[in-house]
Amino acid sequence: MDKGIETREKILHAAMHMVRESGFDSLTIGETAKQVGMSKSGVFAHFESRDELLLNVIAFTAQDFKEQVFDKALQHKRGLERINALSRYWIKWSHQPSGGCPFMSGAFEFDDRPGVIRDALVKQEKAVHDIWERAAKIAVEEKEFKAGTDCKQFAFEIFGNLLSFQIYKRLLNDVKAGQMYSISFQNILSRYLK
């Protein structure tokens, strides 16, 4: 790989881990430079401003999500099987040793702060919502979900369940978090399954 691209990837990787651990607010050019053992001007050579760094971290993390969750789920059979796969990969991605889901924390950090960062986060949250809404539509087409299912409502409920899992698992360290997530996931599914 080209040396410049390699360094850029290394910076983005470190920044993604920082965001996972402490949220977007904690991410600065200075802190990122420290993490990768570079000078601030070295990082500035790749990202001209903090906003540019943040936007690139969001894009980098979105790509990681796509590869680890969406692309993997696509390899499963359309319908319920894919919905179950999405749930498994999503949970795994959202709960890593290096930290929780960066988009969830970002969503709460930036919901009241207009600007390019908020816009990028909105785009990403909508993309994830659409994945779930689309997965539900396919389950209707496959006649596994009831005809007339409100697929947007389904995605809203699925989202809430993962958010709750994050709070109980990562903040409250509740040993039953995974079990409660699974029960709730089945409860949601049971309303939509034929």
Residues in CB range of 140: below 8 A, 6 or more apart? 146, 147, 149, 151
Query: What is the rounded CA–CA span in Å between residue 108 and residue 60?
Result: 20
Q: Which residues of 62-87 are buried (b: 16+ CB within 10 A; e: fewer)?
A: beebeeebbebbeebeebbebbbbbb
Pick 80 or 158: Cβ nearer a copy of itself: 158
Task: Please measure the distance between the N-terminal and C-terminal CA atoms of the chain and give it in whole angstroms.
Answer: 50
Q: Does 162 interact with a copy of itself (rule: CB under 8 A)?
A: yes
Q: Does 31 interact with a copy of itself (rule: CB under 8 A)?
A: no
169, 180 contact by CB (below 8 A): no
Q: Where does this chain touch a copy of itself (CB under 8 A) — which range of 48-56, 58-66, 133-141, 157-165? A: 157-165
Among 8, 20, 46, 82, binds a copy of itself (CB under 8 A): 20
Interface mask (CB under 8 A) for a copy of itself, residues 163-192, using x and -?
A: xxxxxx-xxx---x---x--xx--xx--x-
Q: Where does this chain touch a copy of itself (CB under 8 A) — which range of 3-11, 49-57, 68-76, 101-109? A: 101-109
Query: What is the rounded CA–CA span in Å between residue 163 and residue 98?
Result: 18
Among 118, 127, 137, 142, binds a copy of itself (CB under 8 A): 118
Query: What is the rounded CA–CA span in Å between residue 167 and residue 118?
Result: 22
Residues in CB range of 83: below 8 A, 6 or more apart? 135, 136, 139, 189
| Shortest Cβ 96–a copy of itself spacing (Å) | 10
Q: Does 146 interact with a copy of itself (rule: CB under 8 A)?
A: no
Among 122, 137, 148, 175, binds a copy of itself (CB under 8 A): 122
Q: Does 82 interact with a copy of itself (rule: CB under 8 A)?
A: no
Q: Where does this chain touch a copy of itself (CB under 8 A) — which range of 1-9, 67-75, 76-84, 121-129? A: 121-129
| Shortest Cβ 161–a copy of itself spacing (Å) | 5
Pick 64 or 81: Cβ nearer a copy of itself: 64
Query: What is the rounded CA–CA span in Å between residue 143 and residue 184?
Result: 22
